[in-house]
Chain A
C-alpha cells in the first residue's frame, strides 16, 4: 500500500515542474495555433450547418423528422471515432481533424438547437402563428429571439468543447497540440506534457472569456465569424487522393467480427457502461457542492471566483488527457477511465450546475432567505429544488456524453470498446474496425434514446423550458 503510494507520488512528481523555457514555448506555439485554427474552422461550418438544420428540425418544416433523425444519428458517433475515420479517409493532418469536428458539431449544434426551438414558449409561438405567418417566419421571428440567450450560451459552450475536441482528435494523427501531447507522453517527457496541459487550460480560459464577451455583446460574432471562415479556408482538406479514399472506405464494408472477438464483446460492452455510469456518478457527486460554491448568487466572490477557476481547470483538461495522465500513473484499465471521466465531468457539470443555480427565479429564494435560513439550508430548500429540472437534464446529458467518451477512452488504454477499435485500426483490420464503430454507434444511440425517453417521462424538458 505504502509502496504503491510512493510510486504514485514519484510518478506524479515527474510531471513537475513544467518546462517553461522560451525555446519550448516557441515550439509549442505552432501546434497551439493549429489547434485553434482547426476548432475555429470546424465550428465555422458547424454553426452555419447547425443553425440551418436546427431551425429546420425545430420548426417542423417538411422532412424535419428525417433531418432530426440524421442529426441524432451523426451525433452518436464519438468525435474521436469520426476522427479515426477521417484520418483513414482524407489522410493525416489538421484537415482531417477539422472535417471530423465540422461533421460532429454540425450535428451536435443542430440537434440541441432543434430541441431548444421545440421547447420555446408555446403561447408566444401560437400568437405568432395566429397572425397567419409561415412556419419558417414563425421560427425566425419567434423561436430565435425567444431562445437567443440559450442559443448563444450553448454555442459558446460548444466552441469550448470543440477546442478540447481538437486536442483529442490530434491524438489519432490529426495534428495540433494533441499530437504534440501524445508525443511528449510517449517519450516519457512528462514535464513538457504539463506545460502543454497548462497552455491548454490558458487557452480554454481565453475562450471562456471570449464567450462572455459574445454573450454580453452578440454583435462581436460578426468579427469572429470571418476569422473562423478564414481558418476554415486555410485548413480545408486537400482531396488529392479521392479514389484512394473511396477504396479505403469500401474496404471497410461489410463490417465483420471474427469469432473470438464476438465472444469477448459482451465483456467489453459491460466495461464501457461501467466506465460511463461510474464516471458520471462521481462527477455529479463532486459537482453539486462545487456548483453551489461557484454560483455567484449564493456564494461570496471570495469563494465563487476561485472555485470557478478550479472547475475551469478540471474542464480544460479533456477526458482523454486526464486518461493519458491517469494511465501512466495508476496503470491501464477501466479505473483510469472512470476517474478521468469523473474529473473532467466534475468541471463541466459544476459549471452547468452553477449556471442553473444562477438562472432560478429569485422571488422564492428571497422569500426563503427572509426566514433567516443559513446558506446551506437555503441551498437545500431553495436552490437545489428550484434547479432540480435543469440539474437532472445536465446530468443526463453528461451521462450521454460520457457513454460516447467511454467508447473512445480505450484508445489510450483506459478500457472499454475503444481499445478494440483502436487496435483494429492500428492493424489495418478495417472491416473489424467498421464493426466496432457500428457497435459503438448502436450503443450510444440506444443510450440516447433511453435518456431522452426518461427525460420525457419525467417531464423534464418541459419544466426546464
Chain B
C-alpha cells in the first residue's frame, strides 16, 4: 500500500503506564476512507490507542503516522494543527453543558480560528457561522436544536452533537471511542449507522471502538480485535455472523 493512500500507519507501537505495557507491538495500516471497528473488552487498550494517535499519550517505542506525519515527534503548533483535523467522539459527557448547542458545535473550528475570533464568536456569532453550525447539525438531523441548551439534550442527541462538532473540524480521521457505551441498543444502531454513513459520504477514515461484536460485524469494513494490549485478530467482518445477527 502506498503511503499516500494510507491515512494511519502504526508500527510496533508500545505504550507503558509505569512498568506494564498497555499497548504492545501494535502494527496496522488503515486506508483512506476505511471504516474500522476496534473490538475488545474493557482494559484492552482501546482508549489508550486513540489517545496515542491523538498525541495525548506518549509512546515508548514504535511510531504512529497520521497522514504521513509522525505523531510522537510533533509538538506545539504543529500538534495542534494535526489535532484540528482529527475528529474525536467519545463516551458521553464531553460537551460543555453551559454553552449552547451551536457554540459546542462550532468549537470544532477552534483549531482553525484565531483566539480573538473564538472570543468574538462566543459574544457575537456571525450569520454565516451560525449557518455552518446549522449545516453540521443538519447532517446529524438536529438542525432544530441549534439554539438549545446543551443540558436539555437526551443521551442520543448529546452524542450526535459531539459528532457534529467533529464534522466541523473537517477531519480526515475520525476517532470514536465507545460512542455508544451509554446508549440503548436501538440508539446504538442509529449512532453507528450515522457515523459510518457520514464517514463514507465524506470519505473520512473512521476508527471506532465498541464492546459488542455483533455491532462491529454489522457496520464496519474491517475489525481489529485487541486483547491485553495486543492485536489478536485483524479481519474482514464475518458475513455469517452478520446474517445470523440479522436473522435473529
Q: Which residues of A contact B (CB under 8 A)?
A: 361, 363-364, 366-378, 380-382, 385-386, 388-389
Contact = CB atoms under 8 A, between A and B. Distances in A.
A233 B97 CA distance: 51
A405 B99 CA distance: 35
B122 interface: yes
Contacts of B165: 371
B88 A376 contact: no
Contact of B110 (A368, A385, A386, A389): A368
B118 A371 contact: no
Given A366-B56, A368-B107, A368-B110, A374 B94 contact: no
A381 B94 contact: no
Interface of B: 54, 56, 79-86, 88, 90, 93-99, 103, 107-111, 113-115, 118-119, 122, 162, 165, 169
Given A370-B88, A373-B110, A381-B103, 18 more contacts: A364-B94, A364-B96, A367-B88, A367-B90, A367-B95, A367-B162, A368-B96, A368-B107, A368-B110, A372-B84, A373-B80, A374-B115, A377-B110, A380-B115, A380-B119, A385-B96, A385-B98, A386-B96
A381 B97 CA distance: 11
A386 B56 contact: no
A interface secondary structure, majority: helix
Contacts of A371: 83-84, 88, 107-111, 165, 169
A361 B107 contact: no
A463 to B, nearest CB: 9
A292 to B, nearest CB: 12
Given A373-B118, A380-B119, A363 B90 contact: yes
22 contacts: A363-B93, A364-B95, A369-B83, A371-B83, A371-B111, A371-B165, A372-B79, A372-B83, A372-B84, A372-B85, A372-B110, A372-B111, A373-B107, A373-B110, A374-B115, A376-B118, A376-B119, A377-B118, A381-B99, A381-B103, A381-B107, A385-B98
A372 B169 CA distance: 9
Contacts of B169: 371-372
Contacts of A363: 90, 93-94
Nearest to B55: A370
A371 B169 CA distance: 7
B245 to A, nearest CB: 31
Contact of B118 (A369, A381, A385, A388): A381
Contacts of B82: 372
A305 to B, nearest CB: 21
B86 A370 contact: yes
Contacts of A370: 54, 56, 83, 86, 88
B118 A367 contact: no
A390 to B, nearest CB: 11
Contacts, number: 86
Contacts of A382: 96, 107
Contacts of B122: 380-381
Nearest to A377: B118
Contacts of A364: 93-96
Nearest to B175: A370
Closest 8 CB pairs of A and B: A372-B111, A372-B84, A373-B110, A376-B115, A377-B118, A367-B94, A385-B98, A372-B83
A341 to B, nearest CB: 27
Contacts of A372: 79-85, 110-111, 169
B179 to A, nearest CB: 12
A378 B110 contact: yes
Contacts of A388: 98
Contacts of B54: 370
Contacts of A374: 80, 110, 114-115, 118
B96 A381 contact: yes
A428 to B, nearest CB: 54
A361 B107 CA distance: 17
Contacts of A376: 115, 118-119
A376 B85 CA distance: 19
B13 to A, nearest CB: 19
Contacts of B56: 366, 370
Contacts of A377: 110, 113, 115, 118-119
Contacts of A386: 96-98
Contacts of B94: 363-364, 366-367
A366 B91 CA distance: 12
B167 to A, nearest CB: 11
Nearest to A362: B94
Contacts of B88: 367, 370-371
B209 to A, nearest CB: 15
Nearest to A375: B115
A414 B15 CA distance: 62
B103 to A, nearest CB: 7
A72 to B, nearest CB: 29
Contacts of A375: 115
Nearest to B80: A372
B137 to A, nearest CB: 16
Contacts of B107: 368, 371, 373, 381-382
A146 B99 CA distance: 28
A375 B162 CA distance: 21
Nearest to B116: A376
A377 B97 CA distance: 16
Contacts of B96: 364, 368, 381-382, 385-386
A368 B97 CA distance: 13
A364 B91 CA distance: 11
Contacts of A378: 110
